[in-house]
């Protein structure tokens, strides 16, 4: 029978009572221990118990979700807690974030009241707030997530913000570790793929950071106009150097994928064309052949497909690859539950 885990002090000190906004807030030993525990939880070698008994966790959504909302709700319930999902605007009042705002517009309530009020009921608050893809500096400022962090008196958990999706990044690394056993020096490709419209950079940012924090060799394959934010790329480079991995950029998808162990398909928007939707969409039309298909997978003979989902079939990845034996996309989503249970049990113990 699995025994209830008493956590080592080092990992408790690292996570207990802390917000979880980015993997960059934690060091490699802490993140490694988190993955060890998540793997042990998943395989029933330890029982996390019900450390959330008597506790409630808010799940505040400004944007849609299938996986994050469901897996967080189940994680909280399985740990004995009460999940409180709230969709802002339809299930709550619309919120204002501008300091000093004269609130004559649509917003009924300011974050300066909303966050302290929620903190008085809840033991942690998860927040999902996507980028608006209009003004990059505004998205990069993480106005919504930062305001929740500033005005809440309980830990705040990033459920995907404008620039980061750390639960996804860690869940993905957990999946790679489960498949290969080790993470150092794994050859992974983050492959930009076509999509009808520009998407946020949160997943590519978080996957690139997490992969290099765990010592992998990362190739970012993208058209020339689709590089990561240079500041984020510098963080990825620093992280690779500190953890014994590497990062490089390739503008040739086939060259990048030769011999890869993982091809992580994902689309994102061009920083050069940020907020210029029509021109951006015109630009990406040139890259409709950036798709993960059987021929691309054959270049990575030992390679697996990953994608955070949702995925546009036969635009980003073909049916036969998604449905084939080298696809990890369902396992990736399933692992979010185990990762999140571990994280919640550490933060709220
Ligand atoms: N990958 C992911 O976060 O999925 P959802 O947007 O459905 O939550």
**Domain spans of the chain?**
9-164+333-348, 168-329
Ligand 1 geometric centre to CA of 169 (Å): 12
24/151 Cα distance (integer angstroms): 22
Ligand 1 geometric centre to CA of 268 (Å): 15
> What is the number of the ligand 1 atom nearest to the C-alpha of 165?
3
Give residue 13's pLDDT: 82
- The kind and range of the H/E element at 112 are helix 111-121
102/150 Cα distance (integer angstroms): 20
- The kind and range of the H/E element at 302 are none
Give residue 3's pLDDT: 63
Q: What is the three-class DSSP state of 236?
A: helix
The answer to whether 155 touches 124, Cβ cutoff 8 Å, is: yes
Average pLDDT rounded to a whole number, residues 40-52: 92
- The pLDDT confidence band at residue 1, using thresholds 50, 70 and 90, is very low
Mean pLDDT of the chain: 96
The answer to whether 173 touches 342, Cβ cutoff 8 Å, is: no
263/317 Cα distance (integer angstroms): 11
Average pLDDT rounded to a whole number, residues 45-56: 94
> What is the number of the ligand 1 atom nearest to the C-alpha of 71?
8
214/181 Cα distance (integer angstroms): 13
142/131 Cα distance (integer angstroms): 8
For domain 168-329, say whether CATH 1.10.10.10 is its number.
no
**pLDDT tens, position by position, 298-315:** 999 889 999 999 999 999
- CA dist list (Å): 213 to 36, 100, 203, 210: 15, 39, 15, 5
The answer to whether 336 touches 308, Cβ cutoff 8 Å, is: no
For the chain, percent of residues with pLDDT exceeding 70:
97
265/262 Cα distance (integer angstroms): 9
Same fold, 9-164+333-348 and 168-329: yes
125/288 Cα distance (integer angstroms): 39
The region of weakest confidence among 9-23, 29-43, 137-151, 272-286 is: 9-23
The answer to whether 124 touches 156, Cβ cutoff 8 Å, is: yes
> Which candidate, 251, 257, 269, places its Cα nearest to that of 139?
269
Give residue 2's pLDDT: 59
Neighbour tally for 161: CB within 10 Å: 26
Give residue 302's pLDDT: 87
Pocket-forming residues, ligand 1, beta carbon under 6 Å: 65-68, 160, 168, 308-309
Residue from 70, 128, 205, 310 to probe ligand 1 pocket by mutation (most atoms less than 8 Å from CB): 310
> What is the number of the ligand 1 atom nearest to the C-alpha of 68?
8
Contacts of 331 (CB under 8 A, 6+ apart): 175, 178, 179
pTM of the complete model: 0.96
Class of domain 9-164+333-348: alpha beta
**pLDDT tens, position by position, 220-262:** 999 999 999 999 999 999 999 999 999 999 999 999 999 999 9
């Amino acid at each position: 029978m699995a025994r209830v885990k008493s956590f080592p002090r080092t990992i408790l000190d690292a996570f207990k009572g802390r917000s979880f906004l980015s993997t960059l807030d934690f060091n490699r030993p802490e993140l490694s221990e988190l993955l060890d525990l998540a793997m042990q939880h998943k395989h029933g070698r330890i029982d996390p118990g019900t450390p959330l008994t008597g506790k409630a966790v808010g799940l505040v959504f400004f944007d849609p979700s299938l996986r994050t909302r469901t897996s967080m709700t189940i994680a909280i319930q399985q740990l004995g807690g009460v999940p409180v999902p709230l969709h802002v605007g339809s299930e709550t009042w619309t919120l204002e974030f501008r300091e000093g705002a004269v609130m004559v517009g649509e917003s009924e309530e300011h974050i300066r009241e909303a966050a302290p009020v929620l903190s008085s009921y809840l033991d942690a608050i998860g927040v999902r707030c996507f980028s608006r893809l209009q003004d990059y500096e505004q998205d990069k400022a993480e106005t919504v997530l930062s305001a929740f962090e500033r005005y809440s008196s309980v830990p705040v958990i990033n459920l995907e913000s404008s620039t980061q999706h750390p639960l996804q990044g860690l869940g993905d690394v957990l999946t790679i570790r489960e498949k290969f056993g080790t993470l150092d020096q794994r050859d992974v490709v983050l492959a930009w793929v076509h999509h009808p419209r520009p998407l946020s950079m949160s997943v590519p940012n978080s996957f690139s950071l997490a992969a290099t924090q765990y010592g992998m060799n990362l190739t970012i394959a993208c058209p020339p106009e689709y590089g990561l934010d240079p500041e984020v790329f510098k963080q990825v480079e620093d992280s690779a150097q500190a953890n014994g991995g590497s990062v490089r950029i390739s503008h040739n998808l086939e060259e990048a994928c030769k011999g890869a162990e993982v091809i992580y398909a994902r689309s994102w928007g061009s920083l050069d064309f940020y907020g210029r939707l029509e021109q951006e969409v015109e630009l990406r039309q040139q890259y409709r052949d950036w798709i993960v298909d059987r021929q691309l997978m054959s270049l990575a003979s030992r390679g697996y497909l990953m994608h955070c989902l949702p995925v546009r079939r036969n635009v980003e990845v073909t049916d036969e690859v998604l449905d084939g034996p080298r696809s990890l996309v369902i396992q990736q989503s399933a692992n979010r539950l185990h990762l999140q249970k571990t994280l919640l049990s550490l933060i709220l113990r």
